[in-house]
Chains A and B, each alone.
Chain A
Amino acid sequence: MKRARIAHKGAAVWALLVDNDSALRLGDGETISVAEAHWLPPITPGASIFALGLNYADHVKELGFKAKEPPLIFLKGANTLVGHQGATVRPDDANQMHPECELVAIIGKPARHVPAGKALDHVSGYTIACDYAIREYLENYYRPNLRVKNRDGATPLGPWIVDAADIPDPQNLRLRTLVNGQEVQDGSTRDMVLDVAGLIAYLSQTMTLSPGDMILTGTPQGVHFCAAGDEVICEIEGIGQLTNRLIAEPKA
């Protein structure tokens, strides 16, 4: 089952994908075509948003780092999220802005001191994030710093959440990023340094994870700098395709 959050008749509502993902069925039974949908990021308000840096062996090597122990975890605010078919601003001076396709695990049950062997029982579903980075804005303080990773609307999320039951093995999914149709990332979640279960176990050692919390699990290799006007598609096997367009900074 796939659940999407859309804007409909002035409200943010959850809807189920039906008819081979061609339509959305709302809670009251009304059905609309996906072509009419105004997609919102599928997030529960208030959720904590965790993200991973350097969590794919190939990407770590590409950037010239050694694999980090402990894992490099950072946080995002909800201001960063934008839904499927949304737009993300590329600042005029961001010549090194690149997309990062990431598997997102959504917590379904509170988790505290959960061992890795039971961690996936606490996942309700999965979605896709495009965690854009802008390398010019990196500073060596709490890196990756918020000026890089917490920009308004610079983390497309969606298009929907696929139930965990429909993703029996989250560590064997192909991820790809296409920029204007050209493949710039092609990896597999099997190359994660710390897998979804390991991340939940690690986080829940020191804090309580709550339903709706999200973990963006990092990105494989493939650093491709984008321009305003580019269409960026992040794709994960078994979940779908998340589409975003980069736009120039609006002029004041």
Chain B
Amino acid sequence: MIAGNIYGVVLNDRPQLAQMADGFAIPPYRTPPQAPVLYIKTRNCLAPGGGDVPLDADLAHVEIAPTLGLLFGCAATKVSRANAPACVAGACLALDISEPEASYYRPTVRQRCRDRFLPFGNLHAFDSGILKASIGTSINGVDLHAWSPERLARDAATLIADISSFMTLAAGDLLLIGLPHDAPRAGPGDRVQISCAGLSPLAVHFHRAGAA
């Protein structure tokens, strides 16, 4: 089970990096990112099995980024790319929900860490085949988005190796391996379903906080 820290990574989507290349050279960034750009989701975000997600009145809509969560079975500290996959025990679909934010300069705790802003599906034994699968998203029954972890600038093994060079990914930690820059948006009333071959699908229903 997810018993530890929940980490995610942004700016790991190759088309996004290409689009932002010029922007990385100017303030506030000045130089392209070197280390993986990580964030943390807090425990109040966890919504096992999906279900209802309340949106506070200040949110007209949210960004919904479908991704894979990798669950660590043993500690990864300074592991090589070759040894990284052996640290991953499980995997699940996850929907990383956030208030839309264009800037990557400051941490996005307020945007990303609202209650139930990380619905995730059943955990399965890790099979590297899912890293090539397509992750599809439908909203209210209409297929709106698909992407594959093959788009990642740092693939899962490289990501784990690079992160573990400066911090431990421990047994029980969950790593969200990247977000599509073109993630769709959803608002109150929307029903979202994400699916990926080899993993249990995940269904989420957004509603206005306070409303039934």
Contact = CB atoms under 8 A, between A and B. Distances in A.
Contact of A150 (B28, B42, B113, B167): B167
A73 B109 contact: yes
Contacts of A75: 39-40, 42, 107, 109, 113
A60 to B, nearest CB: 14
Interface stretch (A34-42, A176-184, A206-214): A206-214
A108 interface: no
A207 B33 CA distance: 29
A158 B153 CA distance: 40
Contact of A74 (B5, B35, B107): B107
Contacts of A48: 42-44, 113
A140 B105 contact: yes
Contacts of A143: 105-107
B30 A207 contact: no
Contact of B106 (A46, A72, A137, A151): A72
A14 to B, nearest CB: 20
Contact of A151 (B38, B39, B44, B167): B167
A82 interface: no
B11 interface: yes
A contact face: mostly helix, strand, loop, or mixed: loop
Nearest to B165: A147
B108 interface: yes
Contacts of A140: 28-31, 105
B: contact size bracket: 35 or more
Most buried by B among A74, A137, A146, A209: A146
B19 interface: no
Contacts of A139: 31, 33-35, 37
Contact of B114 (A77, A151, A207): A207
B194 to A, nearest CB: 23
Contacts of B43: 46-48, 210
A24 B110 CA distance: 39
Contacts of B105: 140-143
A140 B167 CA distance: 19
Given A72-B106, A76-B40, A210-B43, A141 B33 contact: yes
Interface in A70-127: 70, 72-80, 112
Contacts of B173: 77
B131 interface: no
B5 A78 contact: yes
Please provide the 8 A-B residue pairs with the shortest distance between their CB atoms, ordered closest to farther.
A77-B5, A75-B40, A48-B42, A74-B107, A146-B38, A141-B37, A147-B35, A73-B109
5 contacts: A46-B43, A79-B170, A137-B35, A141-B37, A146-B166
Given A75-B40, A146-B40, A207-B115, 10 more contacts: A48-B42, A77-B173, A78-B4, A78-B5, A140-B31, A141-B10, A142-B39, A145-B38, A152-B77, A210-B43
